[in-house]
Chains A and B, each alone.
Chain A
Amino acid sequence: MSRKSERLINLTIALLATKRFITKSEIFKTIEGYEGSPEAKGRMFERDKDDLRTLGIEIEVGSFDPLFNDEAGYRIKQERYQLDLGEITALEVSLLSLAAQAWQGASLDDAAQRALVKLNSLGIAVDEANLPDTVLFFSDGGVDLAMITMAIAEHQILEFTYRNHDLSEEERRVVPIGLSTRSGFWYFTGVDQDIQEVRTFRFDRVIGAFSAKRGPEDFETPEDFDAQRVFDNTNHENALVDIRRGKGTSLRALAIATKSMGEWDQVQIPILDMKTLSSLLLWHGDDVYVHSPAELREEIIATLKGLVNLHG
């Protein structure tokens, strides 16, 4: 099947080399590999154009002479074809290599390796001396990340089935606005179309596949959205909790303020989700005590009563 590759390469070279638009008949006359009846050649050319587009190569269509409404012409612009990252330093190339290496064995490994080959083709030496010594790898359990970022870029609606807190399954329609990973889990944030509010979802709680649909025309990303702060939202009510000294390390990691009070420390923890926080507080047993809000206290008291009833 080398004939097809050869023809595609020759077509790319010819369309890149030309300054003016060249017409279909010129292409058939000069580029090797177009054979058969005029109709067959035409079909071949249409397929070739689609194939190049699939490879990310944009073919510009224009008129040979704007004064005459004659045959359409084609060309590929060098500046759209080439990788242009502006001035790039050895340190930057090295950082990009490290970034690509993080995908080893994960879903975007192939894409990352292809990008790396292109970067290495720039002919810039790698600056390893200045690099951080990191050992990080992505692990994404096969999430189609490029599909999600495409949906973010084009404001598409993602439809999927989600496993809720109570294990019930619910259909969701979400315009995604952010993608994040933390502690080995992948999350995406989006505007839930049924309630028009921003929600964050964990990928491994999605059941089955996503389907992407055309999104609302007038969609705008909420102004206060910041991908870097998905997990430390400050717009939440805080819980006031006492934690025994030297205990509750994972709770302390969530706290936004800590005040030492002898045997106990008093901390403030933003409430992202009442049930999740209550469960985390119960995990810590009698090393924690909740002062406020009343709603959280009541939740914990009711749960404790239930536990006593079940096990007493």
Chain B
Amino acid sequence: MGKGEAKRTSSPLERTSRLLDLVPYINTHQGISLVDLAEVFEVSTEQMISDLTTLWMCGLPGYTPLELMDLDFESGYVTIRNAPTLAKPRSITHEEGVALVLGLEVLRSTISSERLDLISAIGSLSQRIAGLVNLPSALSASSGISSEVTVSIRAAIKNRSGLKISYHSLYKDEISERVVLPLELIESQSYLYLHAYCFTAQDFRHFRVDRIQSADTAQVEKPSAAPTMSPEKIGYQLKVHKLTRDVAERFEEPNLEAGTVLKASSFSHQWITRSVLASGGAVELTSPTEIRSEIAKRAKTILNRYEG
């Protein structure tokens, strides 16, 4: 994620934009080192020296030392004087405004409702930025993750302490209490996961953070037992009878046709059963036969309640 890593080449326009932004930045960061400055603007030190050399030649018409910017960077540290016209930062663009307003929105959704000070500051900032760049006040972003939970997890990772979490397992549809030793937070396919050693399962597990309902510090001992065998995957086969978007998304198979036979596997017997039920007759499970007859039995039981 490009931080500190120099970008390849830049077009004259990109360069102009950077030069214009350099002046106010140096103005409020007098004496910053060339290396740090290059890092802030994500260019190499050579490029930064070349940028400063160009800026050094710029100024008001007349172009005598009196009109030129007084820029000093020979010592490796940068100072600027005599640049009043460009001293203030440029206004933000539409795109920059969008990034900030959406960022603020997602921030708002993670802040605990007691922090009224932050919530009102965010509201006022959003409005001012939206006004600057003619942005409709029609943006919303939320994360679905409780801020109390992420705060506890971060603290536990830092202090290498244990956590007692209540976790909603989607497949089993149960909320279970588990004691875990958090290792790291990982982002994958838009979801945030907690990678942890789970004392309940006596193995390493990934937990979706948005399904963790609470997290409190707990006493744990270092995991001693050897990790247990990972559970076996269950192979299954489906026949597609009706094309629906749900089926394509659920079974992650974009190229469906009526009659397609799909082979896949899952760790969870529950997941297969529930997925076929939820697909509502658009797919038929052809194997394994035990799950197939269980689906028929379940559907009959539910049907009896409606018709009974």
Please give the residue numbers on chain A whose beta carbons come within 8 Å of chain B beta carbons, in ascending order: 1-2, 4-6, 8-10, 12-14, 16-17, 30-32, 51, 54-57, 78, 80-86, 89, 91-92, 95-96, 98-105, 108-109, 111-115, 117-123, 130, 132-139, 141, 145-146, 149-150, 152-153, 163-167, 177-185, 189, 205, 221, 225, 227-228, 230, 246-250, 275-276, 278-280, 282-287, 289-290, 297, 300-301, 303-312
Contacts and interface: CB of A to CB of B under 8 A. Distances in A.
Interface in B61-90: 61-63, 85-86, 88-90
B150 A178 contact: no
A225 B12 CA distance: 43
Contact of A83 (B50, B90, B107): B90
A99 to B, nearest CB: 3
Contact of B21 (A51, A111, A114): A114
16 contacts: A9-B19, A83-B88, A96-B100, A96-B103, A96-B104, A102-B107, A113-B42, A120-B28, A121-B28, A138-B103, A146-B95, A247-B174, A279-B280, A282-B280, A283-B275, A286-B302
Contacts of A283: 274-275, 277-278
Contact of A13 (B53, B58, B144, B242): B58
Contact of A286 (B86, B96, B106, B305): B305
B125 A92 contact: yes
Main secondary structure of the interface of B (DSSP, over half): helix
B28 A123 contact: yes
B278 A146 contact: no
Interface string B289-306: 000110110111111011
A275 B246 CA distance: 10
Given A165-B244, A303-B280, A10 B59 contact: yes
A173 B116 CA distance: 40
A134 B147 contact: yes
A10 B90 contact: no
Given A5-B15, A6-B57, A145-B102, A91 B151 contact: no
B266 interface: no
**8 smallest A-B Cβ distances: which pairs?**
A184-B190, A99-B103, A123-B28, A306-B281, A30-B61, A115-B96, A283-B278, A108-B99
Contacts of B150: 133-135
A306 B138 contact: no
B40 A304 contact: no
Contact of B299 (A84, A165, A278, A311): A311
B85 A13 contact: yes
Contact of B89 (A2, A82, A304): A82
B243 A166 contact: yes
A184 B12 contact: no
Chain B interface bracket (under 10, 10 to 19, 20 to 34, 35 or more): 35 or more
B94 to A, nearest CB: 6
B122 interface: yes
Contacts of B101: 99
Interface of B: 1-2, 12-13, 15-17, 19-21, 24-25, 27-29, 40-42, 50, 53-55, 57-63, 85-86, 88-104, 106-107, 110-112, 115, 117-118, 121-122, 124-125, 128-129, 132, 134-145, 147, 150-151, 154, 168, 170, 173-175, 185, 187, 189-192, 210, 241-246, 248, 256, 273-281, 284-285, 292-293, 295-296, 298-303, 305-307
B303 A4 contact: no
A139 to B, nearest CB: 4
A58 to B, nearest CB: 9
Contact of B187 (A103, A130, A139, A180): A139
A132 B111 contact: yes
A96 B139 contact: no
Given A13-B86, A100-B99, A130-B118, 4 more contacts: A13-B59, A121-B89, A301-B303, A307-B296
B103 A103 contact: yes
Contacts of A92: 121, 124-125
B46 to A, nearest CB: 13
A227 B54 contact: no
A54 B14 CA distance: 10
Nearest to B42: A113
B91 A80 contact: yes
Contacts of B88: 78, 81-83
Contacts of A284: 173, 274
A307 B25 CA distance: 66
Nearest to B270: A285
Nearest to A284: B173
Contacts of A248: 173
B121 A95 contact: yes
Contacts of A82: 88-91
B132 A84 contact: yes
Contacts of A123: 27-29
B96 A112 contact: yes
Contacts of A109: 1-2
A78 B102 CA distance: 28
A96 B125 contact: yes
A184 B28 contact: no
A283 B268 CA distance: 14
B244 A166 contact: yes
